[in-house]
Structure 1
Amino acid sequence: MKHIKSGFLTLNNNVRAITKMQFILVVILVIVAGVIGYYAGVWTAPKPPMLKEITIAYGAQTLSWGLTYVAKEKGIFEKYGLDARVIFLAGDTVVMPAVIAGSVDVGIGGLPIVASTRLKGEDVICIGITNYVPKGTGVWARPEIKSVQDLKGKVIAVPSIGGHIHSITRAALRILGVNPDEVKFIKMTYAEAYAALKEGKLDASYVSNDYYLLCQRAGFNKLFEYGDIPELRRVIWGTYYAKRSWVEANKGTVVAFLKAIIEAVDVFKDMPEDEFLPISEKYVGITDLEAIRVAVKNYGATFAKDIRVVVSDAKYFIDMLTEFVPEYKDLDVNRMIENTYVEQAMKELGVT
């Protein structure tokens, strides 16, 4: 009987040992199956497409470049496969060196900075335009300065010396009968110039639409608007530019960028006004909704889906500036413009 009991206990222990081994084996199999299943899922699951990085720089804090801001904030760049970094650099003359150095892919600014850079031997090209001269942009002055003639011997602030606004303001003064050499220009951001005007430390300044209502409220005198001068209505207000070598090495990225800008036109025009508030605060630095409303209305009226650079209009502006920069007469304007990519973008979007 003792032997039977002993045998039973041995058998029972063996069964327990087998059961424990089976349990451990099952656990191991479950873990292995889980790991295999996980990695199988990782290997077979569709991966989201990689976004192409692109850095875009603007030299003036204004909603005139609003299509770029909207394309960024509303996910349009991402829609076209771009991871866009949009940065502010103070003035055309700061943006352009960054483009030349390769730290910025696409710059936003006027034709004059592209023209002057090409004179230095750099092959920078315009790949599209932002808009033409918008209503509401002009030169404002302290209350005691009543007319354009009163600007002689005075100081005018512009975003950069040698940039677009500096160039067009010199042209405007000449047309209006003031020798631009009798005026001193200094570099200031829009916010700095507005503050200096309020403090009485500045005579006059270029004023963008973004500050139009603020200057009006402050009691400054509007001396002129560029759009009111017939000779300036054909002036291309801004362009998208890049090094030709970068453009040719990144053709798909260039077309995607331009498609995003074109699509942003309708988005900009259809956006509720209050949605511009965070965009203006981030990129322009203005949170006054009434002031933003004025800027959105005036700039929006100048945005179009056909953003090709019209060669004759570009040549018209460059010829106008030849008085101030005689070397411009030797420029081949056709070589500084490349519409191939914007035409492809327009075709793919069905824009005529």
Structure 2
Amino acid sequence: MMRRLVVTMLFALSVFGPSMCFAQPAKNLIPAYQAISTPDFGYLPTYVARAKGCFTDERLDLKVIVMNSRVSVPALIANEVHFGVAGPAITATLRGAPLKAIYFIYNTSTFQFTVRPEIRTADDLKGKTIAISSPGATNDMATRLILAKLGLDPVRDVKFIAIGDAKARMIAMDQGQVAAAANNPDIAAELVRKGFRILMHSGDVFPVPFSGTAVNEKLIRENPDLIKRWLRAHLKAMLLIRQRPDEAAQIAARDLKLNLDIAREATTQVLQFMYPNDPGGFTEKGMKIFLQQTAPRLGIDPDKVAISQVADVSFLREAQRELGIKCRDGYGC
């Protein structure tokens, strides 16, 4: 019986590769807490990893908590959660917080700047209200860069309102409370079906590592094993999304309560932004662009900020090697 089980597992590995998750019995699991800013495609691998038993396979009992970055960053600093959103965490790091980014899903920002049906041109946005997730967040930065590219002054031409949850931003747009917002592909696809328009993709102006995760340096020192378990689960999920996108779309449709066709469309879109040569990693160029956009807002010279000050890829590289993933072209490969 044991020999048959081993043969079956080896056959599965040969067919599916390292992304195959063999969910172990839920005994003696290690509790872990991850804060996300909003339940959407920005965290697709987390949902896929949970659905396919990748966390259980790594003996993790992962609790996913939705919270605004104004709450999640202090929680990460206070070690109340193990994993938090990287964008605002890097900003906090530049201010002196003991945080490090360890993982990114996408090699560019994935926002689609969506406007109400009556907005035909950028000029129609003058005097209108635009929704952002929270001040200083990557959503805010991308929105301001998009507006500038469209020829608008983000300070004088429009007003902003912070609406943290992506679904809440969609409702605000639907009800006419706001004229536009930068949305992730699943939300944008839903709005387009209602007659809304996409004016620009944020990747055109904000090609930075995106949908990342950060940890406290205390966790790096005291529990590196937890970090590697979390990373291996996410890497397996990323490989599974690439190998079986329709299955990933079905998981997204169920867990994010989306129409299946919209989930399939969004999955196809985000796959092109997952770095195949370095899943979970980022390029030096991309991170430098992020720092160039972030540091000056804090009165810091970005050229004086080393990437190692804000990110630690050592655990990602270990997890990749353990799964047989060969990193190419990424930072620290």
Q: Mark yes or no: TM-score above 0.5.
A: yes
- Looking at structure 2, the residues matched to 48 and 146 of structure 1 have their Cα atoms a distance apart, in angstroms, of 53
Structure 2 unpaired stretches of 5+ = 1-24, 327-333
In 2, Cα distance between equivalents of 1:152 and 1:334: 41
Equivalent in the alignment of 1:154: 128
Matches within 5 A, 1:129-208: 129-133=104-108, 137-182=111-156, 183-188=158-163, 189-208=165-184
Quickly say closer, same or farther: Cα 1:315–1:158, change in 2 above 3 A. same
3-state SS, counterpart of residue 236 of structure 2: helix
- Give the distance between the partners of 2:251 and 2:212, measured in 1 at CA: 24
The aligned residue for residue 289 of structure 2 is 316
The secondary structure found in structure 1 opposite 2:178 is: coil
Does residue 326 in structure 1 map to residue 299 in structure 2? yes
Match of 2:266 in 1: 295
* CA 48–322 in structure 1, closer or farther in 2 if over 3 Å, else same: closer
Aligned position for 2:241 = 268
Q: CA RMSD in A?
A: 2.4
What is the CA-CA distance between 1:341 and the residue it aligns to?
A: 0.5
Confirm whether residue 92 of structure 1 aligns to residue 69 of structure 2: yes
Quote the Cα distance in structure 2 between the aligned partners of 1:324 and 1:174: 16
Secondary structure of the corresponding residue to residue 155 of structure 2 = helix
TM-score normalised by length of structure 1: 0.77
1:244 corresponds in structure 2 to 217
Residue type at the aligned position of 1:339: V
| 3-state SS of paired residue (2:135) | coil
* CA separation of 1:273 and 1:192: change in aligned 2, threshold 3 A: same
| Structure 2 contact 245–267 (Cα < 8 Å) conserved | no
Structure having the higher Rg: 1
Q: Percent identity?
A: 24
Q: For 1:221, which of 194, 197, 202 is the aligned residue?
A: 197
CA distance in 2, matches of 1:274, 1:76: 15
Correspondence for 1:307: 280
Residue 104 to residue 328, structure 1, CA distance change in 2 (3 Å): farther
> Structure 2: how far apart are the matches of 1:49 and 1:215?
43
Q: 2: distance between equivalents of 1:142 and 1:97? A: 35
Say if 1:342 and 1:148 are closer, same or farther in 2 by CA, change over 3 A: same
Q: Deviations over 1:146-195 (max 9, x none)?
A: 22233232211122221111112112222332221122221222212222
CA distance in 2, matches of 1:341, 1:102: 19
SS in 2 for 1:121: coil
Distance in 2, Cα, partners of 1:65 & 1:117: 21
Shift of 1:219: 1.3
Q: Which runs of 5+ in 1 are unaligned?
A: 1-46
User: 1:270: how far off?
Assistant: 3.8
Aligned 8 A contact 1:54 1:82 in 2? yes
Which structure has greater helix proportion? Answer: 1
- Map 1:60-71; keep pairs closer than 5 Å: 60-71=38-49
Deviation (angstroms), 1:275 = 6.2
Q: State the partner residue of 2:57.
A: 79
The question of whether the paired residues in 2 share the 8 Å contact of 1:157 and 1:193 is answered with yes
Cα-to-partner distance string for 1:238-288 (whole Å, 9 max, x where unaligned)? 211011111221111111111111111122234463664454443x3x331
Contact 1:132 1:237 in 2 (8 A): yes
Normalising by structure 2, report the TM-score.
0.81
